[in-house]
C-alpha cells in the first residue's frame, strides 16, 4: 500500500500560504523555505494552495509485509 507524503522544495517563495492553510499547524518557516513537520496528516491542503507549486507529493511504499519478505 502506498502512503502519500508532502515535501516543500527549493522553489518555495516563503509566502506562507501553506502554513496558514495547514489544519494541524505542522508547517513552519525555515531559513530558506517552509518545512512540513512530522505532524502532517497528508491532507494535501498545502499542495493545492501553493501558488508556485513548491509542495511536492511523494508516494512511499508502506507495504511492511512485502518488505519483510525480501
- pLDDT digit string (tens) for 7-37? 999 999 999 999 999 999 999 999 999 999 9
User: If DSSP codes are grouped into helix, strand and coil, which group holds residue 54?
Assistant: coil
> What is the total count of domains within the chain?
1
- CATH code for the domain of 27: 3.30.70.20
Let me know if residue 70 belongs to a domain.
Answer: no
What is the reported pTM? 0.80
Q: From CA 66, how far away is CA 20, in angstroms rounded? A: 38
Average of per-residue pLDDT across 33-52: 97
Q: Which residue has the cell 502554513?
A: 19
Let me know if residue 26 belongs to a domain.
Answer: yes
Q: What is the pLDDT at residue 63?
A: 62
Segments forming the whole domain that contains residue 47: 4-59
Let me know if residue 8 belongs to a domain.
Answer: yes
Let me know if residue 68 belongs to a domain.
Answer: no
Q: What percent of the chain has pLDDT over 70?
A: 86
Let me know if residue 15 belongs to a domain.
Answer: yes
pLDDT-based confidence at 69, cuts 50/70/90?
A: very low
Burial class (CB in 10 A: 0-12, 13-18, 19+), 12: buried
Residue 15, Cα to own-chain centre: how many angstroms? 16
Let me know if residue 69 belongs to a domain.
Answer: no
Amino acid at each position: 500500500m502506498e502512503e502519500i507524503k508532502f515535501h516543500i522544495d527549493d522553489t518555495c517563495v516563503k509566502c506562507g500560504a501553506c502554513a496558514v492553510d495547514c489544519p494541524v499547524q505542522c508547517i513552519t518557516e525555515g531559513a530558506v523555505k517552509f518545512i512540513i513537520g512530522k505532524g502532517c496528516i497528508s491532507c494535501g491542503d498545502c499542495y493545492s494552495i501553493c501558488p508556485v507549486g513548491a509542495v511536492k507529493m511523494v508516494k512511499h511504499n508502506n507495504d511492511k509485509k512485502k518488505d519483510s519478505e525480501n
